[in-house]
Amino acid sequence: MFLEDNIDACQELTADGKLFLRNDLYLTLEWPADIAKLDKVNHVRNDITRFAGFKFLLDGQGPTAYCHEKHNGSEWRMPTWDPEVFKSTVRTLHDTGLQVCTHVIGDAAVDLTLEAYEAAMNANPRSDPRHRIEHAVLSTPEATQKMKDLGVPVSTEPAFIYLFGEGWRTIFGEERMDRIMVLREWLEAGVHLAVNSDAPSMPLFHPAAALAGSMNRETFKGGVIGPDQALTFEEALRAHTIEGAYVAHEENVKGSLEPGKLADMAVWLEDPSTLDPEALAKTMEVDMTLVGGKIVHQKS
């Protein structure tokens, strides 16, 4: 998710042959004035860089999460975008044929996003637009069903539980902790679930932190939030690989080791499936990294 200048830089580096890490670029729309940037972005799509769509910010972080019920943060009733302007803009961007993603923290923000996606998809039916939700820290059971019905995947960051879980207890209250990042509920409902690091915004940027957070859901104080929502290692790994490719419309070329797919992979120093979550979370080094089957990094 990038601002206009970042997108230009990635595209220029690719054109100059200086960027070989494959990337999908989404123009960030933080507020309505950013709509003016739409015509300034080059829709470059090649083997390295692919302009893939747009990302809204509909609320901020925990203290400004847009929620149905009052919380202890600084504001709970005000989304970043006016709801009607947001719905209208989603409809316009849906009509471009590209993907729309929306940053949401609170349950009201999740519901507003799903309403906007549904209205756009009904007004202009497209085959599998796969508009997605980013983060979805707090959500309702009804939202889970609508995600499934609309084919809207969730891309979220379980390492946030470690970093911010205790703060969420303070902001949302203990009674809402069972609705925090309901990974297993989404998975069992048939919602496509991807987990990621939110790099470079967050300090726990390595994949192992996302995997461990999915499995133990521990906060930095050692508390556990929603233990019944924990994933197995295999489920977490799938969410980080093939499902990560799926939410970007790239499951046919990425996400698994199969003939005909891009050979982009990391070789770990040890088998991560044998590590307990605490040890896994501290695993940052890899033995080797390959892009397109070529070694681009190798430990000593």
Provide the residue count of the chain: 300
Long-range contacts of the stretch 67-72 (C-beta < 8 A, 24+) = 67/106, 67/107, 67/108, 67/109, 67/138, 67/172, 68/106, 68/107, 68/108, 68/111, 68/140, 71/106, 71/171, 71/172, 71/173, 72/170, 72/171, 72/172, 72/173
Residue 53 host element (H or E):
strand 49-57
CA distance 143 to 103: 15
10-residue stretch averages of pLDDT, the chain, 300 residues long: 79 87 90 88 88 94 97 96 96 96 98 98 96 98 98 97 96 97 98 93 87 96 96 97 96 94 92 93 90 88
Domain boundaries, the chain: 4-258
The class level of CATH for 4-258 reads alpha beta
Contact 134, 110 (CB under 8 A): no
Per-residue pLDDT tens over the stretch 211-252: 999 999 999 999 999 999 999 999 999 999 999 999 999 999
CA distance 140 to 182: 9
Whole-number pLDDT of residue 2: 65
Residue 193 host element (H or E):
strand 193-195
Whole-number pLDDT of residue 202: 83
Whole-number pLDDT of residue 132: 98
